[in-house]
């Protein structure tokens, strides 16, 4: 399977018969359809409509679609996973931030669903629905700080309640070429 590289903004849709590796952030006006896997290689990916990969979707940044996000294997983001429609993965779904599906849609995964912060969706959540092996309790777990909306119909909800504090973190901002640093109280 060939691997293609891409970055920037695309008017219309992006359809690839192979794998996609980003060389920068990618914004696509309509949809992304990749027969292989999408490796964002440290960048973020956004589509006006849908993002679909036959393999996995992996981003160090965020993954965002106006409609659905679907992967044959897993979906993993360093930050958020945000879809206006459903989110579906044959394997696990893992976000370093929040996971949000549309108000009239749900989230389903063959294995676990994990968000470092919150999970929101309009309908049902299913974790551990894989058909290729028996799942254990860990593989059927939906983990987040708080399930704000939606209902776990299949799986085990584990709300940690832990919200990472920004207290003591150092932030920097550059204005007119001069950098200012502050510590959050």
Q: What is the pLDDT of residue 180?
A: 83
How far is 129 from 53, CA to CA, in rounded Å?
19
E strands along 51-150, which residues?
A: 51-53, 57-59, 63-65, 69-71, 75-77, 81-83, 87-89, 93-95, 99-100, 107-109, 113-115, 118-120, 124-127, 141-144, 146-147
**Residue 59 has which token pair?**
């981003």
**Given CA atoms 114, 152, 56, 26 in this order, what sign does their dihedral have?**
negative
Q: What is the pLDDT of residue 166?
A: 64
How far is 153 from 155, CA to CA, in rounded Å?
7
Q: pLDDT tens, 128-151?
A: 999 889 999 999 999 999 999 999
Coil/strand/helix, residue 138:
helix
Q: What is the pLDDT of residue 26?
A: 92
Over the chain (185 residues), the average pLDDT of each successive run of 10 is 87 92 92 92 90 92 93 93 95 95 95 96 95 93 97 97 71 81 77
Q: What is the pLDDT of residue 13?
A: 92
The phi, psi pair for 94, rounded to 5°, reads: -140, 125
Q: What is the pLDDT of residue 56?
A: 93
Q: Which residues have CB under 8 Å from 122's CB, separation 6+?
A: 101, 102, 103, 104, 105, 106, 149, 150
| CB of 45 closer than 8 Å to CB of 25 | yes
**Residue 23 has which token pair?**
């060389």
Q: What is the pLDDT of residue 174?
A: 81
Task: Using alpha carbons, select from 138, 159, 139 the residue that is nearest to residue 148.
Answer: 159
């Amino acid at each position: 399977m060939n691997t293609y590289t891409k970055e920037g903004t695309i008017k219309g849709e992006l359809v690839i018969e192979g794998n996609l590796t980003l060389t920068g952030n990618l914004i696509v006006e309509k949809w992304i359809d990749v027969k292989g896997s999408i490796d964002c290689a440290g960048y973020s990916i956004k589509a006006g409509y849908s993002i679909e990969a036959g393999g996995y979707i992996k981003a160090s940044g965020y993954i965002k679609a106006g409609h659905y996000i679907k992967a044959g294997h897993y979906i993993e983001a360093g930050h958020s996973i945000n879809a206006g429609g459903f989110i579906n993965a044959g394997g696990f779904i893992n976000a370093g931030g929040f996971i949000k599906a549309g108000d009239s849609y749900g989230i389903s995964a063959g294995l676990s669903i994990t968000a470092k912060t919150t999970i929101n969706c309009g309908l049902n959540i299913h974790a551990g629905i894989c058909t290729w092996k028996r799942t254990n309790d860990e593989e059927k777990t939906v983990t987040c700080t708080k399930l704000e909306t939606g209902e776990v119909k299949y799986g085990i909800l584990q709300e940690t309640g832990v919200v990472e504090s920004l207290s003591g973190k150092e932030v920097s901002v550059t204005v007119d070429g001069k950098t200012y640093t502050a510590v959050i109280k």
